[in-house]
Every structure is written in C-alpha cells, then in structure tokens.
Chains A and B, each alone.
Chain A
Amino acid sequence: MASRSAEIRQPATRQADMLDVTAIVLSVLLVALVFVGWSGPLRVLLTVAFAFFVPGRAIVGNWPRMGQWSEAATSMVLSLAVLVLLTTVMLWVHAWHPLGLFQVVAGLSLVGLIIGLARRRRRTRGA
C-alpha cells in the first residue's frame, strides 16, 4: 500500500517541486535585476509573477493539505494578501522602505521555499 501511495504521490510531488523551483528562480532573478538596477518589461513581468505567486507559494509549500487542494490559486491569494498587509502597515507606521521590504520578503520566501522542498523530499522518502 505504501509503495502504491508513493506512486500516486509522485506526479503531484513533482508538480509541487516544479512550482517551488519556479518560485525560487523567479525570486533570484528579480533580486538580481533589482540589485543591478536594470529596468524594462522583463523586470515588470517578473515583479507581477513574484507578487502574484512567490510569498504565497512559500506558505502553501509548507502546508501540504492546502497544497493538495490547490497549489497555484491559493498561493496567489495569500501572496497578494500578505503583500497588501505588509505594505499597508509600512505606510501606517511611516516606515516606507519598499525595496527593503522586497528584500526581506524575497529572503524569507526563499527560506520557506527551500524548507518546503526539503520537507516534501523527506516525506516522499518516508512514504
């Protein structure tokens, strides 16, 4: 039973891993573009992808039950909600540092994504 269950989980695990890796690549690319100060449509598109996906993906990747229900849509909603809350709080407390916030969110997201990947690997091996 355990091996059958592992077989079923494999495609889903691969898909989740792929989403995590995509989020990591997006974050690293955007951090690099921001760091070198490069502007253009690519940076705008990467920012859209980051804002609509990455922070939420870092949460959902560590929340298997939510991920099993929906990987992308919930990631999107949580990403937007978290960023709205953080940016609004920054305005309220008169501490407006958008690029600083981006670096913190990107850093925490990378940590969350890597932990999520590692935990999934461990679960898969244990199944």
Chain B
Amino acid sequence: MQNQGNRTGFPSSGDSVDKQWHISDVLLPVSLVMWAVGVARTDTKVLGPYGLLSVLPFVFYAAIALLIVSVTIELTRQRLSRWRMTAHTTALVVMLYGTAPIVYSQGRYSWLYKTIGVVQYMGAHGRINQQIDIYQNWPGFFAFAAWFDKVAGVTSPLAYAKWAQLVVELAVLPLLYLIYEALSLPARQRWAALLLYSAANWVGQDYFSPQSLGTILSLGSMAIVMRWMYAGNSWGRYAPGRQHAEDRFRAYTEKQPAKRASHLTLAFIALIIVYSALTYTHEISPYIVVTQLGALAIVGLFRPRWLPVALGAVAIIYFIPRFSYVNSHWGVLAALGSFFSNVAPPSVAEGSSSTSSSQLIVQHCADVLAVLIWVLSLVGAWLRRRSRRTVAALVILAYSPLIVLVAGAYGDEGILRVYLFSLPWSAALAAAVLTPTPRLPARSRQGGENGASRQIRRFRAEALRAPIVLAVVVALFLVAFFGSDQSNTMSASEVAAVTSFQQTAPGGPILAADGNAPLNDTARYNLFPFAPIFGSGGVLGAKKPQSDIALVLANQAARYTSGDQPAYVMVTSAMIAYGRAYGTPTSYFTILLNSLARSKYWKLVTSTPDAVIYELPPKTFPKGFSENGPTPSFVVP
C-alpha cells in the first residue's frame, strides 16, 4: 500500500514528490512572468492578416519556448515530480487558452453569440420551443447555462463566455489523467499526452457551447468506463514489482464478487447519469462515445458487451421524436453513406477560391497539425506494439470516431468532431514518440554502472524528441488557433450595437452582408431570421453588387415579409474583416452602404463605427415590387 494515488484526479503511480530543487522551479515562474508581460503589451486594436500572431510581442513567444524547455527538462528526470508536471501542464493551458480572453474584450467566434441567445431565451421564457432550431431540441447545456446565470447574478453570458475555452481545457486535464491512469500508461507518457492534447486542440469546439460541455461529459463517461469496465491489460510493466492501484482493486474484488457487483452497480448508475446528461446536451457526442465503446466491446476490451447497446438505446430513444425536425433541416437521410463528402472540413465546404493567402496558410497549418498528430499516433502505436491490448484499445478509440462520418456531415463539421474525439487517444499514442523508452530501471540494473550511464545518456538523447515535437505542435497550434482572429473577434462597440438593436427592435428578417457578426445573442433571437447577402448561399452569390442593390434587397425583403413586419440590412466591421479574409472585396461593402444611404426605402436605425443597420419599415413596397421573384431563404441560424 505504498502508493495510494493522488485523490484529486492526478493520481501518482509512477510519479513522485521530491523536495530537491529543480531548474524548472525557476524556469516555470520566469516563463509565466514573461507571458504576463507579453499579454500586457499586446495591442489588439488593429490585427493583421494572421490575426493575433502579428501583434503578440516577442516576449510572449519566448515565454512559451521557455515553458517547453522547462517541461522537457522535467520529463527527462528519472522520477517525475507530480506537482511540477501539474504546474507545467496547467501553465501551458493558461498560456494557450487564457491569452484570448485577456487581450480581447469580447468572446471570439460569431457562432458564440447564437448560443448566448439560446441561453437568454431559456432563461427568459423558462421553457423550450423545439420548432425554433436544433439547439432547442438538445437543451442540456442551455438549461444549465441559464440556471448558472441566475445563480451567478449576471444578466447575460456575455459577461463570462469568453473564458469558457480556458475553463473547459483546464477541466478536461484531470479527466484525461484518470483515463490514462486507468489504461496504465506510464506516468511520463500520461504527462506528455496531456501536453500534446492541450497543444493540439486547435479545433475551437471548446468555446461556450453544447459541444464543450459534451467534451467534458464524454471524457467523464470514458473515465468511468476505463476505470471500472475496461478489460485490457496494462501498458507494459516497465517497473517490475510495482503493482498498480487498479490491479490491486481487481485482485481484491475478484475474491469478493459481491463487493465487485456492488461497485459495478454504482459505476453503472454514475455512467447512466453522465451519459444521459450528454444525450440531452449534444447531438453527436453520445453516438461517438457509443461507437468507441462498441468497437472496444467487439474485440473484447470492454465488459459488459451489452452496455454500448443500452447506452445507444438511450441516445436513439431520445433522438426518435426529433428525427423529422433534424432530417428536414439537416438532411440526415441524404447524407447517409456519403462518407467522402462528409469528411470535407468547413474550409473546403465553403468552396471559396478567393480565400486570402494568409487564411489558406492558417487552414494548411491546422490540417498539418491534425495529420501530424495522427501520424505520430501511428508511429507511437508501432513503437509500443508489444503492449498489445492497450495499444489496440487506444488505436480503436482514436480511429473509431471516423465511423460516424458515414452517417452525416454535421454541418460540414463532422471531421472536426472526429478529430476532437480522436485527440485524447491519438495524443496518448503520439506521446509514446515523445517519451523515452520506459524500461530504464530494469535494464540499468542488468547493465551495471556503465550500462546505467549509457542508458541514461540514451534516455536523455531520446528526450530531445519531446521539445522538438512539442515546439512544432505548439507553433502549428498558434497559427491555427489565433491566425483567423482578424475575422473571429468582435469589438465591444459592435457587440453592444447589435445586442441593443436586437433587444429593442421589432422582430423581422435580417439581410446581413455575411454571417460573421455577434448576431442573435438576446432572448429574442428567434424573431430575427437571417440571410447573407454576399458569398456562397448569399442573396447575390458571387455577383458583384450594383448601385441599385438597395432596391433589389428591398424587393426581396418585402416579398418575404409581405409588408407585415420590418426587414433589416446589417453591416458590421467583423463582416468586412471576414469578407476580406474569404474573398468578398471591401468595395462590395462600400457599394452596399452607399446604395442604402441613397435609398428612400431603407431607414438608418443604428450607426456606430462598427455597425450600421437599416430598416425597411412595414407596408413599404418599393418600386417595381412584385410578389413573384426571388425570395431570400431566411433561417434562424
């Protein structure tokens, strides 16, 4: 019973607590101070084509480099210090995910604001309306967030939503550690996997959203499963004689079947609670979890085998009443079986041939990072192929999420979700490439003093892999994560103008230059359906706007409203930034704004440096109006 484990979620098998002085005790605080200085010196008023990257000072990058050096030194130690590794991993997450909420006054991503609107709706109305949108059909996250707002005493999630990425990434660390421990990965590999996971999660699904809560609940489900129901073996016995805590528990409970049954029953109850919450929270996550568990069960690495079927039944029973809505809006049946088109990421699906070169580079960096992690995971699987069942389990868990792409594209985000769900397991495998071979103590003893020295030198040389791989991964992450911030960020005045407008204006359709704006962040979000003007799927499509565009838009809007309600045109600075990045010339916006200013039908209702909104009042039928003709397809986004 020498190793009871750390009971806070970072158990200690293979780690140690030593009281010696380490060089990282200096390097880590210095890197944090440098990061703080870098963040304090960052001026985000004018972002370049590479977003935040171009305005972050040198000291910021130096801080991250120093952190990588420091954590690498820690990783090369023969006995890892649990608390130092915890501190380094936490510091990396804070540096990567804490920078944006500090340097920007508002949350990134236009799609964040819609989720805020749904939370506001549920908080204000205290009920759901399943006909409005898909979010109201999976209300778990929104109900929780609306409850949170009331208890926290805030009027809108705008007050804190920008911090969600940092909170979520910190929250997943102990869960991942538990999973890696349950798989009996060596401590060095667990920490390397945590670092890789944090440094490679560029997808941005961890913002204030159902999928971020879904990530925590999914990993929570997997942690319970891996601890209590995983039927694989341990990852190699690199420290002979040491018995892992879970092995002791298995041995103990095998002698006492009644106790085992009792613990398993409680674990089932916990799993059902967590999985049910996941089912009500996110559309896809429960199916990916079931797919992963089902794949494990098929090869006998998971018991009882009926459990994935039972969990799948929970998700399907919940889905059946919602099927017709989802199919009519998202084409589930049409996408069924179209694996290769479902694989296409959003950047490809947008199909813009005039995307700026900077954004193409950003997209390529994201793609390279994903491919790099998957390639490293395969190399890691090969290196550790002798620990058969654990490697098999990790490979299955890493690649089985691909199966869900057979069922749909999920709004062209399917491949991103697959990457997200693959990452914990891919990172665990890839970590095997970063970490030195974990057989040192046994071999050292066999080889005597010289053998031990040779082994230690080899161990240190192998450890060079870690800083190199980590540096490459972090560099790609920074480009992928911050490189699009020119269009991903919203100014405070833009958010205030759009929010104020949607809180007070009579409901009506909005023709927006494009969808990149803090739209629909109020409880009245469903009263403002939206259609884009420019870009693919826009009212004008790729056509250049003419000077009479205001008249064209007025006719189309009047056709949609039949004069019963107002219609609006909205142009904001984030839309212009998005257009610049993805191929809509700034001149198009100028033509639109000039035409609106001259129009006798459109009335200016909001004008700030970052947002301009025009209104077509009810009962306004412009010149040449006819009920026949093209009508925009407005949707609550």
A and B from one complex: yes
Cα separation A90 to B153 with both chains bound (whole Å)? 19
Q: Say yes or no: is A107 at the interface (Cβ < 8 Å to chain B).
A: no
Q: Are A98 and B150 neighbours in the complex by a CB distance under 8 Å?
A: yes
Determine the residue in chain A with the shortest Cβ distance to B280.
A88
Given A72-B9, A102-B151, residue A81 in contact with residue B277 (CB < 8 A): yes
Q: Are B144 and A91 neighbours in the complex by a CB distance under 8 Å?
A: no
> What 1/0 flags go to B125-156 for Cβ under 8 Å of A?
11110000000000111011011111111100
Q: Max chain B CB contacts within 10 Å: which of A83, A88, A96?
A: A88
Q: Which residues from 88 to 105 on chain A have a C-beta closer than 8 Å to any C-beta of chain B?
A: 88, 90-92, 94, 96, 98-99, 101-102
Return the contact of B277 from the options A12, A43, A84, A101 (Cβ within 8 A): A84
B374 CB to nearest A CB, Å: 27
B154 CB to nearest A CB, Å: 6
Q: Which residues from 372 to 387 on chain B have a C-beta closer than 8 Å to any C-beta of chain A?
A: none
B16 CB to nearest A CB, Å: 15
Q: Are A77 and B175 neighbours in the complex by a CB distance under 8 Å?
A: yes
Q: Which residues from 5 to 42 on chain B have a C-beta closer than 8 Å to any C-beta of chain A?
A: 5, 7-9, 11
Interface residues of A (CB under 8 A from B): 5, 8, 11-12, 15-16, 19, 30, 33-34, 37-40, 43-44, 47-48, 50-52, 63, 65-74, 76-78, 80-85, 87-88, 90-92, 94, 96, 98-99, 101-102
Q: Are A70 and B216 neighbours in the complex by a CB distance under 8 Å?
A: no
Q: Are A73 and B277 neighbours in the complex by a CB distance under 8 Å?
A: no
Interface of B is mostly: helix
Q: Which residues from 526 to 546 on chain B have a C-beta closer than 8 Å to any C-beta of chain A?
A: none
Return the contact of A98 from the options B146, B174, B177 (Cβ within 8 A): B146
Return the contact of B1 from the options A5, A78, A88 (Cβ within 8 A): A5
Residues of A within 8 A of B227 (CB): 69
Q: Are A65 and B9 neighbours in the complex by a CB distance under 8 Å?
A: no
> What 1/0 flags go to B339-373 for Cβ under 8 Å of A?
00000000000000000000000000000000000
Q: Are B127 and A83 neighbours in the complex by a CB distance under 8 Å?
A: no
Residues of A within 8 A of B153 (CB): 33-34, 37-40, 43-44
A-B contacts besides A84-B143, A92-B128, 11 pairs, CB < 8 Å: A44-B160, A66-B266, A68-B7, A70-B9, A73-B174, A74-B270, A76-B174, A78-B220, A87-B147, A90-B126, A101-B147
Q: Are B223 and A77 neighbours in the complex by a CB distance under 8 Å?
A: yes
Q: Are A44 and B127 neighbours in the complex by a CB distance under 8 Å?
A: no
Return the contact of B178 from the options A12, A33, A73, A99 (Cβ within 8 A): A73
Q: Say yes or no: is B505 at the interface (Cβ < 8 Å to chain A).
A: no
Determine the residue in chain B with the shortest Cβ distance to A48.
B167
Cα separation A106 to B252 with both chains bound (whole Å)? 36
Q: What are 18 A-B pairs at a CB distance below 8 A?
A: A11-B4, A44-B152, A47-B148, A48-B152, A69-B5, A70-B11, A70-B178, A73-B174, A76-B171, A76-B175, A77-B274, A80-B213, A81-B276, A87-B144, A88-B143, A88-B280, A91-B127, A102-B150
Determine the residue in chain B with the shortest Cβ distance to A59.
B270
Cα separation A47 to B163 with both chains bound (whole Å)? 14
Q: Are A94 and B126 neighbours in the complex by a CB distance under 8 Å?
A: yes
Return the contact of B7 from the options A15, A40, A52, A87 (Cβ within 8 A): A15
Q: Say yes or no: is B159 at the interface (Cβ < 8 Å to chain A).
A: yes
Q: Say yes or no: is B490 at the interface (Cβ < 8 Å to chain A).
A: no
